[in-house]
């Protein structure tokens, strides 16, 4: 068997890890990262390279062999989320009541971005709690839905140009169960007025902020003098809530939401070029009619923007509330009975990444790509580094 000559598993052209390896040391010499950011930087840089270790696979029928390096499995790595996304989508489909769903997006004003960034764990948590409580309170009102519903909530912190833009995507059933648990009540054309949702959302968020300020769990940013100044920032503009029309079925809904759950700030397919200390990538400008475009940034600025979206260690960016919470499984089953609809069976639960690939693509990753007859076997282990 020949010696191992390649140091990187290459699947496409330019990758985020290439940018880190080329410009990362220069970036670190002028920027300070917190431990969570530094760990993400190093693991993404080394993902599927000899630094992670791995093995050499050889065909048991012909002489073909290949290097297979280990993945970093960091949740911010744009090469390690595909199998996780497929399994999450499959599992959620099996756990959702079979009905239509609304996609609701909650955002905060730009004037609060500094406050959020220096209090990430607390503010992200409050953003997710407040958005769900707004949906819960408004839909319970008899003037609107008048029933108990649920939600799947997904936190994002970026825009297309990698700018800091915290917002939450909520998947909400187009209906709910009445308080006496005897009837499923459908929401036909709309869940609730977005203006009502935005006002309730802002009020709940302010109440939470006041509680945390009194307990000194939140640090004010340098552009805020005191609590009065913060309240002025919160109430000087209307908060944005956007609700899309209901999507037809759990399969289409979860497939749509799956694009959001395990997405990171930028995928490799959007990276176009790097050179002369700059990085060029595709982006969409939703404020213009010609949405597709490209943007070029200094490499240090590009890396800095990406690192702003590394979440605190242990923070759950996907959460389940109300009827969709795992603790309410019996109530969810009751809703399925009231609607008279059967549940979807999970196909990928408990499978390995290779097994998921086999089920989804119909191809066997262990079959030799050269002779198509033999099976790839582990011939040699490669130690990390």
| Residue 331: per-residue pLDDT | 85
Find out whether 20 and 45 touch, Cβ atoms under 8 Å. Answer: yes
Find out whether 80 and 73 touch, Cβ atoms under 8 Å. Answer: yes
Q: Please check whether residue 296 lies inside any domain of the structure.
A: no
Distance from CA of residue 123 to its chain's centroid? Answer: 17
User: Count of alpha carbons within 13 Å of 202, Cβ hemisphere only?
Assistant: 20
- Length, in residues, of the chain: 385
Question: Residue 19: which H helix or E strand, with range?
Answer: helix 16-30
Q: Please check whether residue 74 lies inside any domain of the structure.
A: no
| Residue 133: per-residue pLDDT | 97
Q: Please check whether residue 105 lies inside any domain of the structure.
A: yes
* Residue for token pair 């005897």: 182
111: left (phi over 0), alpha (psi -120 to 50) or beta: alpha
Q: Please check whether residue 261 lies inside any domain of the structure.
A: yes
Write out the two tokens for 220. Answer: 């004010």
Which residues in 138-202 belong to E strands, given as ranges?
Answer: 150-158, 164-173, 175-177, 184-186
| Residue 292: per-residue pLDDT | 77
What is the count of structural domains for the chain?
Answer: 1
Compute the distance between CA of residue 273 and CA of residue 139 in angstroms, rounded to an integer: 47
Q: Please check whether residue 294 lies inside any domain of the structure.
A: no
Write out the two tokens for 6. Answer: 């390649």
Q: Which domain holds residue 190?
A: 83-265+309-339
Dihedral pair phi/psi, residue 15, rounded to 5°: -125, 160
| Residue 343: per-residue pLDDT | 62
Q: What is the pLDDT along the chain (385 residues), one digit of tens a residue?
A: 333 335 665 555 899 999 999 999 999 999 999 999 999 999 999 999 999 999 999 999 999 999 999 999 899 998 887 777 777 777 777 777 778 888 899 999 999 999 999 999 999 999 999 999 999 999 999 999 999 999 999 999 998 899 999 999 998 988 899 988 889 898 877 788 999 999 999 999 999 999 999 988 999 988 888 899 999 999 998 899 998 776 666 666 666 666 667 778 898 989 999 999 999 999 887 766 557 789 999 999 999 999 999 999 999 999 999 999 988 888 888 887 887 766 666 666 677 777 777 877 788 888 999 999 999 999 999 998 7
Q: Please check whether residue 137 lies inside any domain of the structure.
A: yes
Compute the distance between CA of residue 12 and CA of residue 271 in angstroms, rounded to an integer: 11
Q: Please check whether residue 5 lies inside any domain of the structure.
A: no
| Residue 252: per-residue pLDDT | 67
* Sequence-ordered list of residues with C-beta below 8 angstroms from that of 242, at least 6 positions apart, any chain: 104, 105, 107, 194
| Residue 2: per-residue pLDDT | 33
Compute the distance between CA of residue 83 and CA of residue 357 in angstroms, rounded to an integer: 7
* Residue for token pair 């990758």: 15
Dihedral pair phi/psi, residue 63, rounded to 5°: -95, 5
Q: Which of 260, 236, 213, 270 is nearest to 85 (CA)?
A: 260
Q: Please check whether residue 165 lies inside any domain of the structure.
A: yes
């Amino acid at each position: 068997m020949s010696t191992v000559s390649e140091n990187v598993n290459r699947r496409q052209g330019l990758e985020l890890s290439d940018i880190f390896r080329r410009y990362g040391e220069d970036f670190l010499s002028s920027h300070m990262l917190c431990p969570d950011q530094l760990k993400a930087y190093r693991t993404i840089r080394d993902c599927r390279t000899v630094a992670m270790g791995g093995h050499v696979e050889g065909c048991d029928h012909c002489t073909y062999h290949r290097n297979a390096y280990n993945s970093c499995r960091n949740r911010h790595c744009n090469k390690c989320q595909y199998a996780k996304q497929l399994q999450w989508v499959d599992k959620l489909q099996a756990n959702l009541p079979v009905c239509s769903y609304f996609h609701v997006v909650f955002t905060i004003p730009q004037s609060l971005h500094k406050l959020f960034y220096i209090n990430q764990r607390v503010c992200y948590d409050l953003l997710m709690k407040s958005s769900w409580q707004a949906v819960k309170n408004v839909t319970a009102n008899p003037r609107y839905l008048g029933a108990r519903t649920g939600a799947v909530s997904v936190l994002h912190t970026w825009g297309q140009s990698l700018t800091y833009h915290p917002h939450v995507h909520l998947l909400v059933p187009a209906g709910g169960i009445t308080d006496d648990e005897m009837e499923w009540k459908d929401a036909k054309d709309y869940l609730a007025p977005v203006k009502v949702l935005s006002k309730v959302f802002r009020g709940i968020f302010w109440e939470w902020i006041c509680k945390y300020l009194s307990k000194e769990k939140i640090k004010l940013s340098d552009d805020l003098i005191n609590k009065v100044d913060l309240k002025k920032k919160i109430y000087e503009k209307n908060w944005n809530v956007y609700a899309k029309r209901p999507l037809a079925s759990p399969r289409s809904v979860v497939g749509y939401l799956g694009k959001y759950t395990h997405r990171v700030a930028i995928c490799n397919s959007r990276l176009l070029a790097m050179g002369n200390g700059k990085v060029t990538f595709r982006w969409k400008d939703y404020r213009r009619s010609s949405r597709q475009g490209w943007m070029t940034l200094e490499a240090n600025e590009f890396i800095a923007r990406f690192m702003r979206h590394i979440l605190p260690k242990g923070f759950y960016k996907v959460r389940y509330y109300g009827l969709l919470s795992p603790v309410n499984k019996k109530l969810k089953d009751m809703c399925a009975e009231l609607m008279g609809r059967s549940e979807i069976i999970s196909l990928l639960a408990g499978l390995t990444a290779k097994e998921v690939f086999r089920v989804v693509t119909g191809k066997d990753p262990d079959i030799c790509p050269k002779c198509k007859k033999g099976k790839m076997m582990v011939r040699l282990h490669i130690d990390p580094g």
